[in-house]
Structure 1
Amino acid sequence: MINPQHPLQALLEKKIAIIDGAMGTTIRTYGMKEADIRGERFSNAGKDLLNNGDLFSLTQPAMIGDIHRRFLEAGADIIETNTFGATSISQSEFFVDDPREHGGRKDPEFYQKIIEDASLSSLAWEINEQSARQCREWADRVANDTGSPRFVAGALGPLTVSLSNSPDADDPGFRVVTFDQVRQVYAEQTRALIAGGVDTLLVETIFDSLNAKAALVAIQDVFEQDGKRLPIMISAAVGRGGETMISAQTTEALWNAVRHVKPLSVGLNCSIGPDLMYPFLEELAVKADVAVSAYPNAGLPNPLSPTGFDLEPADMARYLGTFADEGLINIAGGCCGNTPEHIAAIAKALEGRAPRRIRVESAVEIAG
């Protein structure tokens, strides 16, 4: 039996799909303060929460919905859930005392307690499910208004821990977490995102390829155990040498490490601007036999810029237009520093431009 082609795959064969911009950058333009993210629910939290942007999905849902709306109206075909750090491991940074401040250390025993903490697990689930529902609502609303399908990508970020490196220079074999612990929190996140109604799962901003492998194993576990499959998107963050920044895996090596999951797309995002990303994207476009995505930062950080990054909407449109002219991309957008105005400029610049050609035999077919 041949499974029907997923609608997102069909879209990628017709056009360069537009993915949204930077949630964190756009949140900052709303001028939110510590009291705004806390609300009544988290008013007694012992740590500052303002940098916990995922939490806004619970305390300021109207703002998050407005951001999704703006990106969709700017031309985004795909919007991401506000779940970059929505795992119990990442949320523990904001709700659990750091043992290092009291002479202890973070280690697998510490993180096992984090994983078994019912309140953290419940919070992570709620953030993922609610963020997915918020995205779903706006994607469906704009799709109905425009007659053009819009898709929701469940974002699984890189975590605040590394499986590849030791934080202890005197003990290079030490790891703060185990592969199975990372796998478990990603499985929980995957299930919550699916419960919220996402169309695809996006393992993104990969600094540590072993963390990403754990996420991909977790996703496959969930698919097999729960009997539901979705397309998988993969996007890595690379340094100036084209390597993942913690595990130092080259672009080609990363692709070879993940291609067995038959992803819908593989690509690069964040970390460096579009000019620096170009040669590594070019290499990936040659090697990969699936759709290729690119959503780079708006240049390098610049604290004097309104967005915190150098490049204006017209600059991003020009660079992404070059990617399209060179036949490198199937999905385009922006990461840090990219507002709805940036995405609107990118969408306008890429309108009518042909997507990178994907070999027919690599087309992803997913059962509903």
Structure 2
Amino acid sequence: MTPWMEPITDASAWTAEDLKRDESWKFTLTDDHRSDLDKALKQVNQSELQFGEIKREDFSLPSLQETLQNMLNEIRNGRGFAMLSGFPSGDYDFPDLEKLYWGLCTHLGIGVTQNSEAGLIHYITAGQLSPQNGARILGNPRPSALHVDLSDCASLFCVRQAADNPLSTIASSMTVYNEILRQHPEYLPRLYEGFIWNRIETYPNETPFSNFKVPAFSVANGVVTCRFHPGWIRGGLKKAEQELTDEENEIFDFIAETAIANRFAYPLNNGDIIFCNNYTVFHGKEGHAETDDESQKRVLLRIWLDLPNVRPFTDEGKVRYGVVRHGKMGWTADDLLAGNHLTPHRRREDSAPEVF
């Protein structure tokens, strides 16, 4: 089969200058929006619901519907990135912030677990809340290289930013694809072939790495999807006692350099929530200063979302779910309530997750 060799011309292929020039990816909560959020919170508290029990119908946000629909369209069909500002981060305790954040996200997609504790909300912090991270400790002050998370969409809610206000970064993986096509089209067949990925915190009968390759780029119905994370790929190869070839290292270096050259840096302030489409956008952050003062430590909350009608896939089991459904990762709140996460994900004969 002849590999796809057409450039991406839609809004998902952007540069930093594009985002500076057109800020329609920014959304801001109004007083009416915050009032609806507070009313919805009071209702779920009156019903004594825990955040994972909250469904969209439990969390009515009438004044926010148009904004949320526009955000969802931007995430799925636009730049793949949206920021919502003005969330009431300083007005509530953490249990209520979890309910507010989760309730908002139920209007965009379905939250899935992201760590060994089957956690639906992940605390990214070096502070006392870090034990809620599971086995993967996140939130240290070091810079975070541009990367993707494992769900359809990664959302980060800035509850408390570090005192030195580190910038966050994003880059379009679709722009990276275009630069590969323009400068090194010979790389694309290898990227379409894909790589095995690491697995962590697996069940005993699950392999420690995917024994199938996940395409780094794939194309379905003319829509390009990126599934590329050097750390997860290298981790899988190490467990399989394999190494990248010189050519593959060259490809990885080119992708990293191109993403950095086209990245957009922006401030992430208290009350900001970002949403990144992991199939079209890399995200990261600059480093920040350490502090021993618990009240000054950086705290972000993270939710991984499955999005409805996110895009077509060449193989949904491998490309969409192949990197996230293992161990206690990739389960929905309904799965947790039913106890489904206590047994391994169902798999096809080729060991890719079943799609249901």
With the length of structure 1 as denominator, give the TM-score of the two structures: 0.27
Greater strand share, 1 or 2? Answer: 2
Greater helix share, 1 or 2? Answer: 1
With the length of structure 2 as denominator, give the TM-score of the two structures: 0.28
Which of the pair has the greater relative contact order for Cα pairs under 8 Å at 6+ separation?
A: 2
